[in-house]
Amino acid sequence: MAVRHRLIRTSPRSVWAVLADGTRYAEWVVGTASSRPVRGHWPELGSAIGFEVRLGPVSLSNETVVRRCEPGEALELEAKAGPLGTARISIELRPWGDQCLVLVDEHPLRGAGGTLHNVAVEALIQIRHRTMLARLAKICETEAAEAEQRRPLGQVVSPHPDEGGPRA
């Protein structure tokens, strides 16, 4: 079971905004060339995004289905990979001060992927997760910095948006 974590220098709310946009998965999920909504309203339970993986001239399409969603906190997905089977991918967001600790846990669920799973495959998944979390961090941190630059001078933003949000 490949478990990886990364501290992202922005709020869980900012990270969730990226996770909740099914059209953006190709920006940070390693190996994904494109993603698009195919069913439901992402990331609601049972909704799905289609994705494309390109390996040279070969293009493979499949889908990822939401199996559990706790908005702002957790997202569990089942990624389908054709004859290789499916994988369970759990993404958990934990507040860490004013930052976000992201934990990703992935393992084969059904099909040949589970049968062929071994230490070498586990190592490749760890490398993939390291890169994936670095990409996610870059997107989230860049967007947070850009939002900060657009904020009017002197405006204070509450770290607890439910307690009144931005105030001048």
Q: Is residue 94 part of a domain?
A: yes
Neighbours of 89 (CB within 10 A): 20
The CATH number of the domain where 75 resides is what?
A: 3.30.530.20
Q: Is residue 153 part of a domain?
A: no
Q: Which residue has the tokens 């600790």?
A: 101
Average pLDDT over residues 116-134: 84
Q: Is residue 159 part of a domain?
A: no
Q: Is residue 124 part of a domain?
A: yes
Q: Do residues 28 and 155 lie in contact, with contact meaning Cβ atoms separated by under 8 Å?
A: no
Q: Which residue has the tokens 């290789």?
A: 84
Average pLDDT over residues 76-87: 89
Count of structural domains within the chain: 1
- Which pTM does this prediction carry? 0.83
Convert the pLDDT of each residue in 36-61 to its tens digit: 999 999 999 999 999 998 878 888 89
Q: Strand, helix or coil at 118?
A: coil
Whether 113 shows a pLDDT value over 90: the answer reads no
Q: Is residue 60 part of a domain?
A: yes
Confidence of residue 16 (pLDDT cuts 50, 70, 90): very high
Average pLDDT over residues 116-130: 81
Q: How far apart are alpha carbons 166 and 151 in whole angstroms?
A: 10
